[in-house]
Amino acid sequence: MRLLFLKILAAAGIASLACTTKVSEWVLLNALPDEYTLAYYHKEPFSQTIKQQNSDIINDIKSANIQFKNVLKTDIDKPYYALFYRNRLFSRYNDHRELDNLAVSPLREKIARELMAGKLCVMVYLKTDIPEKDDKGLQILKRTVNGSPFGNIIPVIELSRNSAEEKHFVSMLLNVESDLKVIDEPMLFGIFGRFKALEPLLAKGISEENINLMIDFLTADCSCLIKDNLPGTDILFTNRWENPAPALVNKILDENPLLLHH
Partner 1 sequence: SGNRPLPKWLTDQRLLTIYIIRKS
Q: Which is nearer to partner 1, 137 or 232 (CB)?
A: 232
CB of 168 vs partner 1, minimal distance in Å: 23
Q: Which is nearer to partner 1, 155 or 200 (CB)?
A: 200
CB of 179 vs partner 1, minimal distance in Å: 8
Cβ atoms 244, 118 nearer than 8 A: yes
Cβ atoms 81, 71 nearer than 8 A: no
User: Phi and psi (nearest 5°) for 50?
Assistant: -65, -40
Strands 122-127 and 156-160: parallel
Q: How far apart are CA 248 and CA 139, in angstroms?
A: 25
Q: Where does this chain bind partner 1 (CB under 8 A)? A: 1, 5, 179, 183, 198-202, 204-205, 207, 209-210, 213-214, 216-217, 220, 231-232
Name the percent of the chain in helix, strand, coil, to the closest 5: 40, 20, 40
Q: Which is nearer to partner 1, 77 or 179 (CB)?
A: 179
CB of 160 vs partner 1, minimal distance in Å: 22
Q: Which is nearer to partner 1, 48 or 229 (CB)?
A: 229
Cβ atoms 54, 67 nearer than 8 A: no
Q: Which is nearer to partner 1, 123 or 198 (CB)?
A: 198
- Give CA separation, 157 vs 65, 89, 153, 189, 202, in Å: 23, 27, 13, 10, 15
Q: Which is nearer to partner 1, 109 or 184 (CB)?
A: 184
Question: Pick from 168, 196, 205: which is nearest to 91 by CA?
Answer: 168
CB of 178 vs partner 1, minimal distance in Å: 12
CB of 23 vs partner 1, minimal distance in Å: 10
Question: Pick from 210, 246, 238: which is nearest to 111 by CA?
Answer: 238
CB of 143 vs partner 1, minimal distance in Å: 16
